Amino acid sequence: MSTVLNVELRDRLAVLTLDRPGQLNAIGSETVDRLAQALNDVRDNDDVRALVLTGAGRAFSAGADISEIESFTAPGQFRAFVERLTDVYALLEEFPKPSVAAVHGFAFGGGLELALACDLRVVERGARLGLPEMKLGVLPGAGGTQRLPRLLPAAIAKQMILTGEPIDAERAWQLGLVNELTERGGALAAAEALAATLTAGAPLALAAGKRLIDHGLGMDLETAIAYERETVSVLFSTEDRAEGLKAFRERRPGDFRGR
């Protein structure tokens, strides 16, 4: 079994760790394939309610594996690599279980794009986040030009993308890109704690909430509210809704089963 990505299951969480510390967790085809496999495995595991993504060693990820990209001899090879990368990041973004990125050191290029595909981000003080592709004469190709402006003011996103200059964790937190800012060495524990609060929610409602927010942002307000109304009406008939009301009356945590 490849070790470019380690998966650990504990306490309703799946902790996915990029594990190429010698290469600063550069993301190549093998890592992308393992990530896809892990997501598919976790999707079918009812004991897992949330994901945490992190990196081994001194950084979250330096981005796409430049050595692999340099080995491509035809434009079609690069296009196929980018298509695979964007497909798997989309799989993560649309995943029915919520995800939290735990970022330390730095997240650059495809590494930051991976964190952007997660629902929430916990970042350590001193970490740097950036899309440096412009300095290589190209642009981000795994969703960076589209997800970053949806999470930051457009002018800030343009500055990061068009200059290739990173921002630090503190600035990212001030701008709202980061959900929690921790001291050095604290990102993973904080991300796991945040993810644990998510696992207490009803799985069907969590998945529906993600869809409502992500898809609703692309709708006009009237259509989005109608979408919300229909979604909530469906949730009302679930066993988890009945359990939630019962738990509220009995002043105890709900025992949600995803039904």
Residues that are catalytic? 113, 133
For 213, the token pair is 């927010």
Q: Which residue has the tokens 């967790």?
A: 25
Task: Report DSSP letters for 123-148, one per residue.
Answer: EETT-EEE-GGGGGTS---SSHHHHH
Cα distance between residue 135 and residue 51, in whole Å: 32
Q: Which DSSP helix (H) or strand (E) runs through 14?
A: strand 13-18
Long-range (24+ apart) CB contacts under 8 A made by 82-87 are 82/141, 82/142, 84/29, 84/32, 84/33, 85/27, 85/32, 85/110, 85/141, 85/142, 86/141, 86/142, 86/143, 87/36
Rg of the chain over all Cα atoms, to the nearest angstrom: 19
Cα distance between residue 181 and residue 190, in whole Å: 9
